[in-house]
């Protein structure tokens, strides 16, 4: 986040009260009502969670709410369940049975709708097919797909069997798939021939082939391939390993696959996320606590009502898609819009036409998208009728007040509350938010804590700081949807989240709390970048660059960027015999694109004879950040050679 943006967040004092019309019908319709629920969630979690989960299906009820053995939490001990019964089966005996669960629109405008009854049937048929292929409770299944309804079917089918899914974002490259498959020891991969992205064919199956050709991916026994593009994306099927979805799922079959009943703490999914070291972390979420967290937050944060058409624009490959396209909304019987393609295909009016066409009432998107739309001008949203909208949401990074105001005015017509929701892959569900109907929105603030959540802003020693003082954002108490461990590396779990501030979970974010108790998150303070809402570990980029034969050393830093929040800038020094220049810069960019994925390609690659270091040999990131941002530097900043001189001067000044 840029300095200007932080300064403007500090000065921001506008406040938008919940519109009376909205509050009148809202699930939580006053500040007092929110305060009472919040207090109850802390003082009497047992009664709070029993009441708030009464619609969910537990085969046996829990006997103990929480067992907390820092850093390990177990929630709802003794409960048994299958999450798909809460998301699907429970609706079959109600009118929700025939309500749309997923309304899908492809990039070329074709649509498909799956009712709850249909989604249930598809899920059971695929679960049955997976079971016949040998997938059992606890097995890991990797899912590498685009935004098609079958990606939700695939996740739910795994859950039906008690198998653990690990969804890999469709933008990841073959080597990233290989690493995730290897780390999770996935037995099966579910993929599709290809998908559309901005009019281009994104080949998914052939990328899986490249990943599975490597010895590290030998755990995979079967690949299931959905035919989505057909002739537009021919694929090679490997005999004995690859099967077509339509060959194993019989549309005329009997959808009778019983749910495998699991313990509350049975693993539901692993989702890999960037951390401050090179290797992605497998964030593990379990069943009952995760379900409770996403169910309650979907209902209250989005104020879900029976007739809403809810649209979360995230990709299912990120946690937002897991919690707020699949499990949260479905457990509430909501209708979700799912869109396959790009926001600007064929032009910048696409999102707004989607809203008009499907009469979307709730839109949940990311600041980077809002800023991109804002840049294209107000004409685009004006071309569509957006009057169906009643609530707007934001997630993924701090939203600058200018973008907030534009969103509120131009998309929400000034009448829709904007909920700014703060959370992480690790937290599973929204932990801080504006509570629509109950609390005023302040542009740029993520509002108040959700139920059972105790955030605090502290010093390194764990002392709470005063109002409007900056500090580290921590969580003082466990919450139901928290991650349980790093898959296969519990020590890393403890070290990453519970070693910085004693007794607390450290989020990696910096924040302040204002005089009204509202939280203002300013961004990461560890070595993780947030580029266009994608979490990118600097160490991951650096180790990828160093794996290229030309590179001796690399340092990746963020530079403030109006559109993406942060842009990725890398500094590299070369091995003898290699020449700096555009050709090599291009090659290194492609190398990162190939190893990690195109979304992680550096925005700027700079060459240096050596990187500036402290006497103890640590790369001086702070200096490099200034250089990347063009701050406090004098003279020519185009080559780092000059700057390493500058760095040396600075250290000798100290
Ligand atoms: C950032 C995405 C400010 C934050 C759900 C966090 C935010 C990281 C917000 C997690 C917000 C997310 N305001 N910052 N409303 N939401 N962040 O794991 O730095 O992809 O730690 O989860 O995004 O990113 P992740």
Of the candidates 473, 501, 499, 497, which has an alpha carbon nearest to the alpha carbon of residue 485? 497
Q: Which ligand 1 atom minimizes the distance to the CA of 522?
A: 3
Q: pTM for the full model?
A: 0.92
Q: Residue ranges of the domains in the chain?
A: 528-653
Max mean pLDDT among 39-48, 532-541, 544-553 falls in: 39-48
| Distance from Cα 505 to the centre of ligand 1, integer Å | 15
| Distance from Cα 424 to the centre of ligand 1, integer Å | 5
| Distance from Cα 395 to the centre of ligand 1, integer Å | 7
pLDDT at 7: 54
Determine if ligand 1 sits within 6 Å of the CB of residue 589: no
Percent of the chain's residues with pLDDT above 90:
82
Determine if ligand 1 sits within 6 Å of the CB of residue 398: yes
Question: CA dist 370 to 330, 331, 407, 598, Å?
Answer: 26, 28, 7, 21
- Contact by Cβ (8 Å): 76, 62: yes
pLDDT at 626: 84
Q: Which ligand 1 atom minimizes the distance to the CA of 433?
A: 15
Query: Which residue's C-alpha comes closest to atom 13 of ligand 1?
Result: 398
Q: Strand ranges (DSSP E) for 70-221? A: 72-77, 80-81, 100-105, 111-115, 140-144, 164-167, 188-192, 194-197, 200-203
pLDDT at 616: 63
Mean pLDDT over the full length of the chain: 92
Determine if ligand 1 sits within 6 Å of the CB of residue 395: yes
Determine if ligand 1 sits within 6 Å of the CB of residue 524: yes
| Mean pLDDT value of segment 97-116 | 97
Determine if ligand 1 sits within 6 Å of the CB of residue 420: yes
The tens digit of pLDDT for each residue in 428-447 reads 999 999 999 999 999 999 99
Of the candidates 215, 225, 151, 146, which has an alpha carbon nearest to the alpha carbon of residue 181? 215
Tokens of 469: 């003082």
Asked whether residue 533 carries a pLDDT value surpassing 90, the answer given is: no
| Distance from Cα 397 to the centre of ligand 1, integer Å | 5
The tens digit of pLDDT for each residue in 4-32 reads 555 556 677 899 999 999 999 999 999 99
Confidence of residue 650 (pLDDT cuts 50, 70, 90): very low
Asked whether residue 2 carries a pLDDT value surpassing 70, the answer given is: no
Confidence of residue 104 (pLDDT cuts 50, 70, 90): very high
pLDDT at 652: 36
Determine if ligand 1 sits within 6 Å of the CB of residue 508: yes
Determine if ligand 1 sits within 6 Å of the CB of residue 175: no
Residue 634: Cβ-neighbour burial (10 angstroms; 0-12, 13-18, 19+): exposed
Positive or negative, the Cα torsion across 439, 440, 443, 444? negative
Tokens of 331: 């457990």
Determine if ligand 1 sits within 6 Å of the CB of residue 446: yes
- The pick from 293, 396, 496 for probing ligand 1's pocket by mutation, whose C-beta has the most ligand atoms within 8 angstroms, reads 396
Query: Which residue's C-alpha comes closest to atom 12 of ligand 1?
Result: 396
For 348, phi then psi, to 5°, come to -75, 5
Determine if ligand 1 sits within 6 Å of the CB of residue 530: yes
| Mean pLDDT value of segment 210-220 | 97
The tens digit of pLDDT for each residue in 143-183 reads 999 999 999 999 999 999 999 999 999 999 999 999 999 99
pLDDT at 537: 84
| Mean pLDDT value of segment 235-254 | 97
Q: Which fold has domain 528-653?
A: GMP Synthetase; Chain A, domain 3 (3.30.300)
The tens digit of pLDDT for each residue in 356-377 reads 999 999 999 999 999 999 999 9
């Amino acid at each position: 986040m840029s300095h200007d943006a932080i300064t403007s967040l500090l000065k921001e004092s506008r406040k938008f009260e919940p519109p009376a019309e909205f509050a009148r019908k809202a699930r939580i319709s006053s500040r007092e009502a929110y305060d009472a629920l919040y207090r109850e969630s802390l003082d009497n979690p047992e009664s709070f969670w029993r009441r708030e989960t009464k619609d969910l299906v537990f085969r046996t009820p829990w006997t103990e709410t929480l067992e907390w053995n820092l850093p390990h939490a177990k929630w709802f001990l003794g409960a048994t369940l299958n999450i798909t019964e809460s998301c699907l089966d429970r609706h079959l005996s109600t009118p929700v049975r025939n309500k749309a669960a997923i309304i899908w629109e492809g990039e070329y405008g074709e649509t498909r709708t799956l009712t709850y009854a249909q989604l249930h049937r598809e899920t059971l048929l695929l679960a049955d097919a997976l079971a016949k292929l040998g997938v059992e409770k606890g097995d890991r299944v990797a899912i590498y797909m685009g935004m098609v309804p079958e990606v939700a079917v695939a996740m739910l089918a795994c859950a039906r069997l008690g198998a653990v899914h690990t969804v890999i974002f469709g933008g990841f490259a073959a080597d990233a798939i290989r690493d995730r498959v290897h780390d999770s020891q996935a037995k099966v991969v579910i993929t599709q021939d290809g998908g559309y992205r901005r009019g281009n064919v994104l080949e998914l199956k052939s990328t899986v082939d490249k990943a599975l050709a490597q010895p590290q991916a030998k755990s995979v026994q079967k690949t299931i391939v959905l035919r989505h593009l057909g002739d537009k994306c021919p694929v090679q099927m490997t005999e004995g390993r690859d099967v077509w979805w339509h060959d194993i799922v019989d549309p005329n079959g009997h959808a009778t696959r019983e749910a495998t009943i699991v313990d509350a703490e049975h693993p539901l999914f692993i989702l890999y996320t960037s951390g401050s070291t090179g290797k992605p972390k497998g964030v593990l979420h379990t069943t009952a606590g995760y379900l409770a967290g996403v169910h309650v937050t979907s209902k209250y944060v989005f104020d879900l009502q029976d007739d809403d058409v809810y649209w979360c624009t995230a990709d299912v490959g990120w946690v937002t898609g897991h919690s707020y396209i699949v499990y949260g909304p479905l457990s509430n019987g909501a209708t979700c819009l799912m869109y396959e393609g790009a926001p600007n295909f064929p032009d910048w009016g696409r999102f707004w036409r989607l809203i008009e066409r499907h009469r979307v009432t709730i839109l949940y998107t990311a600041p980077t998208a809002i800023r991109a739309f804002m840049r294209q001008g107000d004409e685009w949203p004006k071309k569509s009728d957006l009057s169906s909208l009643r609530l707007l949401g934001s997630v993924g990074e701090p939203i600058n007040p200018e973008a907030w105001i534009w969103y509120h005015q131009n998309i929400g017509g000034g009448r829709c509350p904007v909920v700014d929701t703060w959370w992480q892959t690790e937290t599973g569900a929204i932990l801080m938010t504006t509570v629509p109907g109950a609390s005023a929105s302040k542009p740029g603030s993520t509002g108040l804590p959700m139920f059972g959540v105790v955030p605090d802003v502290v010093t390194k020693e764990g002392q709470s700081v005063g109002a409007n003082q900056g500090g580290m954002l921590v969580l003082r108490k466990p919450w139901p949807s928290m991650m349980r461990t790093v898959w296969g590396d519990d020590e890393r779990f403890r070290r990453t989240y519970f070693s910085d501030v004693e007794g607390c979970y450290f989020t990696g974010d910096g924040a302040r709390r204002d005089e009204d108790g509202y939280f203002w998150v300013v961004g990461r303070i560890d070595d993780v970048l947030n580029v266009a809402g994608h979490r990118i570990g600097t160490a991951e980029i650096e180790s990828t660059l160093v794996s290229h034969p030309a590179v001796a050393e690399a340092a990746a830093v963020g530079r403030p960027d109006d559109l993406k929040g942060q842009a990725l800038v890398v500094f590299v020094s070369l091995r003898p015999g290699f020449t700096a220049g555009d050709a090599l810069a291009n090659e290194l960019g492609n190398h990162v694109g190939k190893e990690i994925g195109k979304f992680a390609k550096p925005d700027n690659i700079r060459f240096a004879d050596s990187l500036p270091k402290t006497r103890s040999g640590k790369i001086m990131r702070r200096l490099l950040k200034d250089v990347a941002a063009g701050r406090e530097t004098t003279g020519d900043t185009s080559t780092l050679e000059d700057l390493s001189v500058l760095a040396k001067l600075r250290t000798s000044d100290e």
